[in-house]
Amino acid sequence: MTWTCDQVETRLSDYLEGLLEAPERAAFDEHVQNCAECAPLLASVSNLVSELRSMDEVELPPQLVYSILDRTLGPREKVSGWQAFRNFVRGFGAPKFAYGVASVMATFVILAGASGDSFRKPKLADLRPATVVRNVERKAARTYASGVKYVSDLRVVYEIQSRLRQEKELQVVPEENTPNSTPEKQPGQTDDHTNTQPRQQNRANELAREVELLAAECPVVFERSYR
């Protein structure tokens, strides 16, 4: 398939934008390679498209947006001098402004308090840098000292509290170790807890030994009395 110059010119943009089918593209290429008029035209248009697509945007005139707003939404209201002043003063009553002023004042008060200034007797000398630095240093030293003292006091209090707690625990321990009384247990009889009441155990052992000795020495008496 051989294309003419008219065909190439008609499909030139399709070729540049990659919209030609493979056979069309081959025919296009074949013609351009052999045509002294179409080859420079293709190069010119290709360069032109690149140039157009890389052209910078024109800078917007600065007043254009305002002019458009004036024409669409109407001109901005122009106020006289007295009215402008009243509007200006009215702006101070806005909650945002009041909040801002209060915040700034609070900040100043906190900073001044931290620097050790006195509000009761303000003096011009207090504003000197050397005085401000000295006041700040003094205030910082006092704050540090009071902090150290507070921590020290806390330590003493905790120590006393822990000792008192230990004393209480020592008093509570013997009551906890007392064995429960059992109703079926006979007087003088012990359970397997030999360590719990050594005195009772010793007393019972002594009584048993005395009874055995007495039985050995006086068997008659012992036998008669048991009969």
Partner 1 sequence: MRRHTRRIYNVCYRFVGNRTEAEDISQEVFLRVYRTLGSYRAAHGGFATWMTSVTRNLLIDHYRRTKRDRVTDSLEDKMPVVENKESVGRRPDQQALVNELSGQVQTALTRISPDLREAVILRDLQQLEYAEIRQVLGVPEGTVKSRINRGRIELAKILDQMGVRPS
68 touches partner 1 (CB under 8 A): yes
* Residue 36 makes contact with partner 1 by CB under 8 A: no
# residues near partner 1 by CB under 8 A: 29
Interface with partner 1 (CB under 8 A), residue from 6, 21, 51, 176: 51
Query: Is residue 72 close enough to count as binding partner 1 by CB under 8 A?
Result: yes
Among 4, 26, 30, 47, binds partner 1 (CB under 8 A): 47
Give the CA distances from residue 14 to residues 22, 25, 135, 142, in Å, rounded to whole numbers and listed in that order: 12, 10, 83, 86
Crossing angle between the packed helical segments 198-217 and 219-226, to the nearest 10 degrees:
100
Q: In the bound complex, what is the minimum distance in angstroms from residue 52's beta carbon to partner 1?
A: 4
Binders of partner 1 in range 12-31 (CB under 8 A): 12-14
Least distance (Å) from partner 1 to the CB of residue 17?
A: 9
Q: Closer to partner 1 by CB, 31 or 117: give it.
A: 31
Instruction: Report DSSP state, residue 126.
Output: G
Taking alpha carbons only, the member of 27, 25, 42, 31 closest to residue 5 is 31
Residues 6+ apart with CB under 8 A from 200: 188, 190
Least gap, CB of 36 to partner 1 (angstroms)? 15
Element (H, E) at 127: none
Give the nearer residue to partner 1 in terms of CB position, either 8 or 27.
8
Q: How many CB atoms lie within 10 A of CB 41?
A: 15
| 44: its two tokens | 């010119």
Applying CB under 8 A, the residues found at the interface with partner 1 are 9-14, 41, 44-45, 47-53, 55-61, 64-65, 67-68, 71-72
